[in-house]
Structure 1
């Protein structure tokens, strides 16, 4: 599970931003009623979900991009060669584009806590470190300093200097160590590959078939709970032409590739088939796509992040998706949303409701409803948000007179 994630100097994020899944000490009646929103890990309460709320262009998507960038660096940086430039932009105002960017992720793998961090510029890794808590006390796995020197914990990594010799300033040591079959690095690599998922999948890819077959009955039950009249779904492999670029040839050629197509059947006429892609509503298609991914997350205690996960969904369906996470034993969801109905202390704890705002100097700031000590749980959080009490709401001068003036210019 994820405990906390920190990053700074990434797109609109200038100062350090922290997304904290460690639950705050809230001992109110409402918090106790929302006990299913929290995981108990060795006596530490950890949140199952955190929601990001705020106006457009405040930085919600950049927070998710930063986490995605951090994870992709872990998974892919061993492939970087000389001349590689990392695919991100630092904060562009006040000289920050010349400063380094920093990332830290604190997480639990195989019931052991790990704290991993790295610092980089656009064209090189500056520093990197990994610590773990094997017996509850912080211990070093490795540290890579800005001067290129390494130090290692005793007996944790086999032949670490062999990995160092194969690690350039374009590669994370953790990524390289995994590619060189070092046990602890491979374990953490598998965690970021399989346990912390970075969004939804294309349901037309053949890789989805195993998940569909595994969870078909649960998906149909979920669709029934969500008041669709779909009674059955079939998966079929079809071949479709796809463009292929051939080096040295200016024109595209086409070849047949296998894709997955889903056919639905409805309560009224169970023998009439519908094409999910062409004949079902946007909301139904989106819900199906989420369920394919989310049921794997829920069943196998994984984590996932989703940007505007409820776009195109009825608010009751958004509630259902959160209920899936909160009903699980140990899954986690980080999401962004413009659905103010979710800003409800009867559904989410105050520390689960996180506001994202952009300051006058263009920087993203993050704070939770829990940070407002004068907010009482008998108040209407959604109403307060819309009224601008927590700042993270767009100011739009949309009066008829102001719009008339705009059209007259």
Structure 2
């Protein structure tokens, strides 16, 4: 599980910023929202253009750097308010082992340094195009064997699969099970071809059955089938040829409606369900950008959040939203909520709700909107 993130000079985060997922003193929701002393998710709230998405991108960029087979344009993701290097560090806990991965990038996107430690013992140390490692049979690399703009850990993984290091192998399985979903730009990314195939390219009858069980258990009131042809009402048949589509039957209706004729909210919900079921059953991170842009009703937002946090074992939900209705102690703990502010040339800053020690009985949404946790727009009418 992701335990802590350190970021400096990434997008709007100029100063060193720590995103801490270690659980604090709160006792409520501990059985469902905490695993191994780590919260099973965090949400970022704040004004438009405060840096909420940048906060979750500081997490998803690790997945891009390790698994995406294209140039991710890293120089364009560096903070514009400074000429200093980009620094990223991630602390994970896997099977009670701490994995710390640090990296520094120059302004042109080249790797300045890279260090991987397992329980404080270095396994990989890189400076420029020189590296020492205990992971491979060869313990020293230099020159052209190390690409300037590629993480050497990525190279080692694809060459060895960490066959002699089960903890690292399980860590990378956690990372590759992760999914990034951008509701605003209608884009989602899976970081493993196997996961992508299961979720998008090869939807099985069994997968549709699981989706229908989810719908029934959640009392959403829809039935689904995945086919290329269906009767729509009594008089119309829709045939999609070789292409398959989800068809939706609502409770109390006799006809099946193709998904492309459904509401925007349902167009977002139905493809998301396999991802939710995947992350609940396979340890990883579900990263949801602009969750409020999904056109979901408030009650549906809360249902999905609760389902993921309650039913997952060691997975984590990380999302950004403008929906303040989710700020309640029946749904989230104060140590799962961060407010984000933008402070001019100093960039984005974050504040964890738990730093103000709110009680379980208090209304977090009301406290947030009154400004106690910061991270609210300042264009209110002054009295």
TM-score above 0.5, yes or no: yes
2:115 to 111, 121, 129: 129
What residue number does 1:230 align with? 222
> Is 1:229–1:266's contact at 8 Å kept on the other side of the alignment?
yes
1:386 to 369, 374, 377: 369
The CA RMSD measured in Å over matched residues stands at 3.2
Tell me the distance in 2 between the aligned counterparts of 1:216 and 1:304. Answer: 20
What residue number does 1:150 align with? 131
Q: Map residues 52-67 of structure 1 onto 2, 5 A cutoff.
A: 52-67=44-59
Following superposition, the deviation at residue 286 of structure 1 comes to 1.6
> Is 1:75–1:192's contact at 8 Å kept on the other side of the alignment?
no
* Structure 1 residue 365 corresponds to structure 2 residue 349: yes
Taking structure 2 as the reference length, the TM-score comes to: 0.82
Taking structure 1 as the reference length, the TM-score comes to: 0.77
Any idea what SS the aligned residue of 1:283 has? helix
Tell me the distance in 2 between the aligned counterparts of 1:88 and 1:191. Answer: 28
* Structure 1 residue 195 corresponds to structure 2 residue 177: yes
Following superposition, the deviation at residue 110 of structure 1 comes to 5.9
Residue 380 and residue 159 in structure 1: after superposition, are their counterparts in 2 closer, same or farther (change >3 A)? same
What residue number does 1:48 align with? 40
Following superposition, the deviation at residue 319 of structure 1 comes to 1.2
Any idea what SS the aligned residue of 1:180 has? helix
Residue 303 and residue 258 in structure 1: after superposition, are their counterparts in 2 closer, same or farther (change >3 A)? farther
1:73 to 65, 74, 92: 65
Q: Deviations over 1:269-322 (max 9, x none)?
A: 43x2311022x1122222212212010000122221101224311111111111
Tell me the distance in 2 between the aligned counterparts of 1:120 and 1:281. Answer: 44
Tell me the distance in 1 between the aligned counterparts of 2:220 and 2:39. Answer: 30
Structure 2, gaps ≥5 residues long: 183-187, 191-195, 230-240
> Is 1:74–1:189's contact at 8 Å kept on the other side of the alignment?
no
Q: Map residues 189-338 of structure 1 onto 2, 5 A cutoff.
A: 190-191=172-173, 194-199=176-181, 201=188, 208=200, 210=202, 213-236=205-228, 260-270=244-254, 272-278=255-261, 280-311=262-293, 312-328=295-311, 329-338=313-322
Tell me the distance in 2 between the aligned counterparts of 1:168 and 1:99. Answer: 22
- Number of residue-to-residue matches in the alignment: 356
> Is 1:157–1:182's contact at 8 Å kept on the other side of the alignment?
no
Following superposition, the deviation at residue 112 of structure 1 comes to 3.7
Tell me the distance in 2 between the aligned counterparts of 1:309 and 1:380. Answer: 22
Q: Which has the larger radius of gyration?
A: 1
* Structure 1 residue 90 corresponds to structure 2 residue 78: yes
Residue 236 and residue 206 in structure 1: after superposition, are their counterparts in 2 closer, same or farther (change >3 A)? farther
What residue number does 2:238 align with? none
